[in-house]
Amino acid sequence: MTPVEVEDVEIRLLLEGVQQVYGYDFRDYAAASIKRRLTQWLAESGFDTFSQAQSRLLRDPELFFSLLQGITVNVTEMFRDPSFFKALREQVVPFLKTYPFVKIWHAGCASGEEAYSMAILLNEEGMAGRYRMYATDIDEAVLQKAAAGVMPMAEMQKYTRNYQKAGGKASFADYYTARYDRAILSADLKQSIVFAPHNLAADAEFGEMNMVLCRNVMIYFKPALKERCLDLFDNSLLSGGFLCLGLKETLEKRKMSARYDELVAGTRIYRKRYG
Amino acid sequence: MAEQTIPQTPNLRAVAIGVSSGGVRALKILLGALPEDFPLPVLVVQHISPEAGNGMARLLDNYCAIRVKEADEQDEVRPATVYLAPPNYHLLVEREGRLALSADPPVSFARPSVDVLFESAAEVFGAGLVGIVLTGANFDGAAGVRAIKAHGGLVIVQDPADAETPQMPAAALAAVKADHVLALAAMPALLRRLAAATAPRAEAADA
């Protein structure tokens, strides 16, 4: 066996142990990315090998939580892919407005950047008070961060640019208060968002959704887990509801694709058919 | 003749290319000179604006004889195909020879990052990987060529004097002893020779 193969074995053993001891299941995560994240954690941890780290990891929850942060890190930004948010505003919101109230599931929301982007967009389109967004993530620490709604001030310039490109109608600075190096998002944006833990690998669907967003989360999953997620989303969505994926994620070649139409080619916004 | 100039070529399995500023011109020269039936897969990271769209893949596909496509997750890595990392995603290779994408933070200030591609491809293809560093204004790829050498692969670097922007090749040369340092214009011939030296053995291994 080559050293690379030995390390792959160590990682499989570690993920197996983590699942049994802590209940977090990363065995269905695509290997290349998770290895990169684990290797980075290992380099910072001071352990020489995963086998060496494993003994401590399985006994020391605090050490495990540092690993968990490393594995689940999902970096995103406000109005990531402005063209997507523009399409949402122009093509999807007109449909949503026809309902008295809409429910949205944002799966894998990480620290909330995209959830808050959605709230800004919906409020600007006159839907304030007419929606509830369930923003979920596997990592409870990151959800606390999301619920706090505090962003690094250094990112605001980029977010402002994204917002404008996404068809933003106001001044982006109206949505936050600068405090030293942090931007505190306006409380109105939080009113309709419920942050809650949810594990895509183990938990059940959310019923009766008008929209499900899950962008750049499933790219980290092996095909079987990806299929599980798509089934969850399909079962959660009402007919006429919208499924929004990352720009490099597609329903092509998926079983459920027969029930969905892409709203505008390339946006990865799919609408579930009636009947 | 190929046997004389390139002794003991291992079974090559893939070519990985990293390029930054000046990349369009460099890729046109390099990929444009590869034949339609080039016997290896070619993986490319070019630093590009996050919102660039997939225009680059289409442009190169129209220009080159070899097929060029933007990499999709789960793409099976096949010979005679160039896979271009999409804007704003890292490109990685899985053990079973499929491509993966990641939206992880930028590495060496870049996403896609040459280091990320090189490091993951080096683990999968080992001594069968050829890594090429072309023109660019930063040091992305330096950690990557170190990984390629550590796994026994081959490193080719554009002569900094020949590069539109010399920093990236210079950083790669500072990181490892490259197997070949040469001008861009000479690279297609070298790649064809390397591929020709390896192709029959690769087929034998598959049989």
Mean predicted confidence (pLDDT) in A240-258 = 91
Q: Do A86 and A66 fall within a single domain?
A: no
Residue B206 forms part of a structural domain:
no
- pLDDT the model gives residue A72: 80
Q: Do the domain assignments include residue B166?
A: yes
Sign of torsion over alpha carbons A97, A99, A100, A101: negative
Instruction: Give A60-74 as a DSSP string.
Output: -HHHHHHHHHHHH--
Taking 60 as the threshold, does the pLDDT of residue B88 lie above it? yes
How many domains in chain B? 1
Question: Which of B73, B115, B125 to mutate to probe the A interface, most A CBs <10 Å?
Answer: B73
Measured distance CA(A120)–CA(A128) in Å, rounded: 9
Q: Does residue A89 share a domain with residue A179?
A: yes
Distance from CA of A81 to the nearest CA of B (A): 7
- Chain B closest-CA separation from residue A147 CA (Å): 22
CB within 8 Å: B102 and A220: yes
Interval A85-141: pLDDT, tens:
999 999 999 999 999 999 999 999 999 999 999 999 999 999 999 999 999 998 888
Q: Say yes or no to pLDDT of B202 above 50.
A: no
- Domain count for chain A: 2
Nearest-angstrom CA–CA distance, A110 and A145: 9
Instruction: Mark whether A42 and A112 lie in a shared domain.
Output: no
State the complex-level ipTM.
0.90
| Whether residue B140 lies in the annotated active site | yes
Q: Report the alpha-carbon distance of residue A242 to residue A102 in Å, rounded.
A: 11
pLDDT recorded at residue A76: 83
Phi, psi of A253 (to 5 degrees): 70, 5
Please tell me which residue in B20, B108, B113, B120 is annotated as part of the active site: B20
CB A169 within 8 Å of CB A123? no
The reply to whether residue B104 touches residue A4, judged by beta carbons under 8 angstroms, is no
Domain end position, chosen among A48, A72, A96: A72
Q: What percentage of chain A reaches a pLDDT higher than 70?
A: 99
- Give pLDDT, residue B1: 42
Same domain? For A231 and A259 the reply is: yes
The answer on A122 and A101 residing in a single domain is: yes
**A144 within some domain:** yes
Same domain flag for A190 and A57: no
Closest CA to A79 of A160, A174, A187, A135: A160
Q: What is the pLDDT of residue A275?
A: 74
Assess whether B159 carries a catalytic annotation. no
Could you tell me the two tokens for A88? Answer: 């949402």
Token pair for A133: 């967004």
Nearest CB neighbour to A219, from listed B51, B73, B151: B73
In a domain, B207, yes or no: no
For residue A180, the enclosing domain spans 82-272
B199 pLDDT tier (thresholds 50, 70, 90): low
Backbone torsions φ then ψ of B109, nearest 5 degrees: 65, 15
Same domain membership, residue A126 and residue A36:
no
User: Residue B24 is part of a domain; what is its CATH number?
Assistant: 3.40.50.180
A213 falls within a domain = yes
Tens digit of each residue's pLDDT (9 = 90 or more) over A25-78: 899 999 999 999 999 999 999 999 999 999 999 999 999 999 998 888 677 899
Question: What is the tens place of the pLDDT at every residue in B134-179?
Answer: 999 999 999 999 999 999 999 999 999 999 999 999 999 999 999 9
Q: CATH number for the domain including A231?
A: 3.40.50.150
Q: Token digits for B73?
A: 């997750």
For A231-263, the DSSP string reads: HHHHHHEEEEEEEEE-TT---TT-GGGGGEEES
Residue A137 corresponds to which tokens in the numbers above?
């993530």
Does residue A58 lie in a domain region? yes
- Provide the residue range defining the domain that includes B176: 2-201
B47 is catalytic: yes
SS (H, E, C) B87-149: CCCEEEECCCCEEEEECCCCECCECCCHHHHHHHHHHHHHHHEEEEECCCCCCCCHHHHHHHH
Residue of B nearest to A222 (CA): B74
A77 assigned to some structural domain: no
Report how far apart, in Å, the C-alpha atoms of B129 and of each of A138, B39, B188, B202 are.
37, 13, 16, 13
Q: Is A2 within 8 Å of B126 when comparing Cβ atoms?
A: yes
Beta partners for residue A260, in sequence order: A272
Which residue, of A18, A50, A72, is where some domain finishes? Answer: A72
Least confidently predicted of A210-214, A251-255, B73-77, B94-98:
A251-255
Tell me whether B51 touches chain A (CB under 8 Å). Answer: yes
| CA–CA distance, A10 with A257 (Å, rounded to integer) | 37
CB A162 within 8 A of CB A80: yes
Q: Which of A45, A72, A99 is the last residue of a domain?
A: A72
Query: Minimal Cα–Cα distance from B143 to chain A, Å?
Result: 14
- B5 at A interface, C-beta within 8 A: no
The count of CB pairs under 8 A between chains A and B is 59
